[in-house]
Amino acid sequence: MNWLLVVAGAVVGAPLRYLTDRAVQARHDAVFPWGTFVVNVGACLVLGVLSGAALAGAAPRSLNLLLGPGLCGALSTYSTFSYETLRLYERGRRFLAAANVAASVLAGLGAVTLGSQVARQLFA
C-alpha cells in the first residue's frame, strides 16, 4: 500500500518534470537550464510545505508518501542537474556551470526552508 502511494506520486511527478521543462524552454530560450532549475526548486518548495505540515501534525503519513518520495522525488532530479552541469562545463560555459550548481543548491535549500516555515505558520 505504501509502495503504491509512492508509485502514484511518481507517475505524476516524472511526466510533470518533462512537461514543465518543455514549457519553460518554449517560453525562455537560453543556454542556462532553467527548466530543470524550476522543477527542482518547485519540488523543494512542495516538500518544504509538506514537512512543515507534517511537523504540525496536519499531513497524514499517506499524504507524505504520495507527495514526498512519490511526487517530489520524481519531479526533482539530481541526474539531469549533474549532466547539464557537466555539459555546460565541457562546452566552455564554466560560469554557467558554477552558477547552475550554486543557484540550484541555494534556491533549493531556500525553497525547503520557506515552504516549511509557511506551513508551520499555517497549520500550527
73 lies in the binding site for another protein (CB under 8 A): yes
Q: Round to whole Å and give the CA distance between 77 and 59.
A: 24
94 lies in the binding site for another protein (CB under 8 A): no
Q: Which is nearer to another protein, 25 or 58 (CB)?
A: 25
Q: Round to whole Å and give the CA distance between 121 and 107.
A: 21
DSSP classification of residue 31 = S
Check the annotation: does 13 bind a ligand: no
108 lies in the binding site for another protein (CB under 8 A): yes
Q: Round to whole Å and give the CA distance between 78 and 43.
A: 12
Q: Round to whole Å and give the CA distance between 88 and 86.
A: 6
Q: Give the residue from 30, 48, 46 showing the smallest Cα distance to 84.
A: 30
Here's the x/- map for another protein, 37-66, by CB under 8 A: it reads as: ---x--xx-xxx--x---------------
Q: Give the residue from 11, 35, 36 showing the smallest Cα distance to 25.
A: 35
Residue type, 56: A
Q: Which is nearer to another protein, 53 or 76 (CB)?
A: 76
Among 60, 61, 109, 124, binds another protein (CB under 8 A): 109
Check the annotation: does 73 bind a ligand: yes
Q: Are 25 and 95 in contact (CB under 8 A)?
A: no
18 lies in the binding site for another protein (CB under 8 A): yes
Binding residues for Na(+): 73, 76
What does the binding site for another protein look like in residue numbers (CB under 8 A)?
3, 6-7, 9-15, 17-19, 21-22, 25-26, 29, 31, 33, 35-36, 40, 43-44, 46-48, 51, 68-70, 72-88, 90-92, 101, 104-105, 108-109, 111-113, 116
